[in-house]
A and B are shown apart, each in its own frame.
Chain A
Amino acid sequence: MPATRLLTLTLTAVLTTLVCAAPLPVLVRNGEAHVAAAVLEREAGMVVKRLPGRAEFVVCGQERCAPLKSVLTDGDDWLVPVAPLCDAMHLTANFDESRRHVALILAPRESSATTGPVRVGGIAPNLRLSKLGGAPVSLDELRGQRVLINSWASW
């Protein structure tokens, strides 16, 4: 039924967003498709970070952070397996015919940046406090810098 098919295609086009316009080069390791972390950051705006002392990785975009397993080391870079990456970030992988390139497609959903518990490996909630002397300070205005928060009391 061509009419139904056309409708489905149109809907798909409306409901999905490409994370990165250019397909990313695929590197096969242990029979599995991987993408380099540096490429993922540059082309798709997703960053892979290791959690010190835990030997765990997280992958984060603008709105979402999720744990990532089985990241491989490749010289100075990391190789991220495509299938777990898609699970973690709610993406669909579209490989080209030769499977040398992959486009990552994001299904839109409600922003998850404002939900979920505060945890290591997650996005920090914003805070607005007053410094000694009264000047305001917020965590958000420090974005782009590494911030060490130490909470202490006189008791």
Chain B
Amino acid sequence: MDVQGPEVVTPWIKKYGVTFPVAVDTADIFGAAFGLKAIPVSFLVDEVGIIRLQGGGPSKEFLAQVEEILREPVSTVRSQTRESATAMSLDELRAQVARTSSDADARLALAQALERAGDYQAAFVECEAAARLRPSDATIPFTHGLVLLRQGKTNEALVKLTQARDLDAGNWRIRKQIWALEHPDKFYGTNGIDWGWQKEQIAREKK
């Protein structure tokens, strides 16, 4: 979920001795595909491909339910791939946009893939096109803001993220992203994350 990139993630992995594979989702691909409104969030996808559990952080209760699933016999049924645009290759997405240039989802997915490939200029163009096609969708200015952030354009990114927040007021991932930019000292200071400040900030913005 870190649009700031791998460099902000690595210290955490070292600190907690993380051994599981970590994917850095700078373009919010997972967030968009699973429709996340807040994090942390956890999902268990079973061998069939079914989403069996959703939880917040790894609580005792959640882990007990995971254990319950791990004890089941393994099924032989496999669901077919449910392709989301976010899983298509750059070439496939380019071809799709060439075919249906007025499809906002296709253009947003292409923007995300271009961001992943580091082609920020082209990603920017696709975000603008998607926003013209569907101005009410918060995901588009959110992605646009993330692309600008990757380019180091913090102020322009904040404008887009604020647009996204206004379109989807209940989305705390967007709000937190804005806080991290506006108050880096509360997130990346020498004392780590200032949870007390975050609590107050949540209370302030819930009004």
Contact = CB atoms under 8 A, between A and B. Distances in A.
A120 B40 CA distance: 17
B122 interface: no
B78 A151 contact: no
Given A60-B48, A154-B9, A128 B86 contact: yes
Contact of B12 (A62, A125, A150, A154): A154
Contact of A127 (B13, B33, B52): B33
A125 B33 contact: yes
Contacts of B193: 155
Interface in B2-49: 2, 4, 6, 8-13, 20-25, 29-31, 33-36, 39-49
A119 interface: yes
A154 B187 contact: yes
A131 B23 contact: yes
A131 to B, nearest CB: 5
Interface in A101-155: 111, 113-114, 117-132, 137-140, 142-155
Contacts of A117: 35
A8 B77 CA distance: 34
A145 to B, nearest CB: 6
Interface stretch (B64-72, B100-108, B130-138, B159-167): B64-72
B contact patch SS? mixed
B150 interface: no
A63 B50 contact: no
Nearest to B63: A148
B52 A154 contact: no
Nearest to B65: A52
B21 A137 contact: yes
Contacts of A53: 53, 61, 65
Given A126-B81, A126-B84, A41 B76 contact: yes
B54 interface: yes
Given A60-B79, A126-B83, A118 B187 contact: no
A79 interface: no
Interface in A50-65: 51-53, 58, 60-63, 65
Contacts of B188: 154
Contacts of A119: 51
A151 B41 contact: yes
Contact of A155 (B11, B81, B180): B180
A71 interface: no
A129 B48 CA distance: 21
A47 interface: yes
A113 B53 CA distance: 19
Contact of A47 (B8, B9, B66, B77): B77
Contacts of B76: 41
Given A129-B23, A142-B45, 13 more contacts: A113-B81, A127-B33, A128-B29, A128-B89, A130-B24, A132-B22, A143-B78, A145-B47, A146-B46, A148-B66, A150-B20, A150-B58, A151-B1
